[in-house]
Amino acid sequence: MDEQVKVAVINDLIASELDGEVVTDVTELEKLSNDAYSTIQAVELPITAVFAETVDDVQKVLAVARHHHVHIVTKGASTSVVSGSRGRQTEIILDLARMNSIIELNPIDQIAIVQPGVINNQLDREARKHNLFYAPDPGSKKISSIGGNISTNAGGMSSVRYGVTRDQVLGLKVVLADGRLIELGGRTLKQAFPYDLTHLFVGSEGTLGVVVEITVKLLPIPLGQPMVGIAFFTNLTEMMRAVSALRISGVYPTMLEALDGRTVSALDRFEGTNYATDNRAMLIFKLDFSSPTIMQKVREILVENKADNIDISDDPTRSAALMKLRDDMLPAIFAGKNHVMEDMALPLSKMAEMMDFVSEVAEQYHLDIYVAGHAGDGNVHPSFVWDKEAQMPSTVATAVGALFNKALELGGTISGEHAVGTQKSSWNNAELGDTVDYLQHQIKALLDPMNILNPGRKID
């Protein structure tokens, strides 16, 4: 990066009298230029960073970027796991964390309008005061922003029942690369007038525009007491048969989480429990609505599908204890270790095969991999772990490549809910084919002809 350009960019940003702040302190820039969950450790120092506070700020930053032909990377709460929001040396970090107001929460319309920096859990907590909730529950719920969730089309455990982020978005305000502010969608639950540009921006990882305001649905908290349960199976194939039977039975589970034998062992070590026998797979499930009929039905289905050690409860204390097993799963796996978690989604009929393949790959490459996933929607998350002091094993990249190829071969996708970032963007033609890959670039070129927005992420 030419030093003169850098100085000019910073001077122009300062001269544009932002409501927010221009960051030039190197230590702070180094911190900002990293993602909290990045596996790539190297840090490039960006030109500068701006804490935007208003839409006007966003427009001014884009104007400076266009003028100097430099790039923007938009940042929410820094929880990308695909190196989506790391700053690079040709970039201005556009940090939206301070745009964190809940502008409106309307219990009659059952919607909220928020700024992108609002933390997912913060909105959810506010909604619950009105017997509503914000459904998307990525693992990062407590720390990730709605803007970031929009950017990645974040999913979660309850997607099997309530859908992913995209399903909750009714409207967006977006600053386009050319600086224009547009409004897409609105606050009605049905919309059949426009082209669906609203959802084109959801999951576009900041490459098509800067989302500055979001209208989402809020859902009613289901009436009645939820039930939570666990059950064990000889292998993942048997488990997926039970998952399929549970799904199709019409009991509408809110959560169906699969843990392989190794993950169960890790959980035992962490909890002091004794669930791991014969490398059995574990299913943790939740239904938001229980009744004696439903509990009976669920138990029957599990027994028919050869589950054992079934434990189901609608008692709040016992339910919470069972839910804690799922909450503790990642801490149990990651305890004292470094890790990379991958993310693939498969047709439901192929999930067991994919999970078994992960174990084969682990053996082949002598890697320590734990496999868990959202079994209700075919979302597999293998976690690679290694010692805190050690380097990432050199075979991880090769192993991940093998998993991705297998997922595609089985009709799956190599990103179920974590998006693409810079880490998977070289897989575009493998996943999409050359024609759709090209079409995506046409859309990108239409909306951002100077390629100033998050270059290298998503599609490059």
Among 66, 68, 297, 306, contact with its own copies (rule: CB under 8 A): 297
What whole-number distance in Å separates Cα of residue 89 and Cα of residue 2? 10
Instruction: Assess contact for 115 and 103: CB atoms under 8 A.
Output: yes
The dihedrals phi and psi of 312, each to the nearest 5 degrees, come to: -125, 140
CB atoms within 10 A of CB 341: 19
Q: Does position 179 bind its own copies by CB under 8 A?
A: no
Task: Identify which of residues 50 and 239 has a Cβ nearer to its own copies in the complex.
Answer: 239
Residue 437 CB partners (closer than 8 Å, separation 6+)? 428, 429, 459
Among residues 97 and 164, whose Cβ is nearest to its own copies?
164
Q: Which of 4, 41, 293, 317 binds its own copies (CB under 8 A)?
A: 293
Residue 436 binds its own copies, judged by CB under 8 A = yes
Work out which of 11, 89, 188, 391 binds its own copies, going by CB under 8 A: 188
Binding residues for its own copies, rule CB under 8 A, total 92
Min CB(58)–its own copies separation in Å: 16
**Residue 446 C-beta: closest distance to its own copies, Å:** 6
Partnered with residue 173 across adjacent β-strands are 183, 213
Query: At closest approach, how far in Å is the CB of 230 from its own copies?
Result: 21
Q: Distance (Å, rounded) from C-alpha 243 to C-alpha 304? A: 12
Q: Least CB distance from residue 131 to its own copies, whole Å?
A: 5
Nearer to its own copies, 23 or 345 (CB): 345
Cβ distance 200 to 266 under 8 Å? no
The single residue among 166, 299, 337, 339 that binds its own copies, judged by CB under 8 A, is: 166
Based on the shown chain and the rule CB under 8 A, indicate whether residue 183 belongs to the binding site for its own copies: yes
Select the span of 8-16, 66-74, 277-285, 343-351 touching its own copies (CB under 8 A).
343-351
d(CA 213, CA 57): 14
Q: Residue 116 Cβ, how far from its own copies at the closest point, in Å?
A: 18
Contact pattern from residue 213 through residue 252 relative to its own copies, giving x for each residue in contact according to CB under 8 A and a dash for the rest: -------xxxxx-------------------x--xxxxxx
With CB under 8 A as the contact rule, which of the stretches 29-37, 61-69, 161-169, 269-277 interacts with its own copies?
161-169
Closest listed residue to residue 328, CA positions, set 363, 372, 392, 295: 372
Site for its own copies in 344-383 (CB under 8 A): 345-349, 374, 377-379
Residue list 302-331, contact with its own copies (CB under 8 A)? none
Q: Which of 3, 26, 193, 272 binds its own copies (CB under 8 A)?
A: 193
Residue 381 to residue 22: CA distance in whole angstroms: 38
Using CB under 8 A as the binding rule, the residues of this chain from 117 to 146 that contact its own copies are 130-132
DSSP 237-250: HHHHHHHHHHHHTT
Please give the helix or strand (H or E) that residue 132 lies within, else none.
Answer: strand 132-133
- Among 443, 450, 451, 460, which residue sits at the site for its own copies (rule: CB under 8 A)? 443
Q: Identify whether the C-beta of residue 74 lies closer than 8 Å to the C-beta of residue 85.
A: yes
Quick one: tokens of 453? Answer: 């927005």
Is 390 or 446 the residue whose CB approaches its own copies more closely?
Answer: 446
Report which residue type is found at 172.
L
The two structure tokens encoding residue 435 = 């024609």
In the bound state with its own copies, the residue whose beta carbon lies nearer, of 166 and 337, is 166
Q: What is the DSSP letter of 377?
A: G
- Among positions 26, 195, 317, 394, the unique one binding its own copies when judged by CB under 8 A: 195
Q: Binder to its own copies among 116, 203, 206, 456 (CB under 8 A)?
A: 203
Q: Does residue 451 bind its own copies (CB under 8 A)?
A: no
Longest CA span, the chain = 72
Strand partners, 344: 380
Q: What angle do CA 300, 304, 305 make, to 5 degrees?
A: 120
What does the alpha-carbon distance between residue 43 and residue 34 come to, in Å, rounded to a whole number? 7
Q: Does 186 bind its own copies (CB under 8 A)?
A: yes
Pick 81 or 385: Cβ nearer its own copies:
81
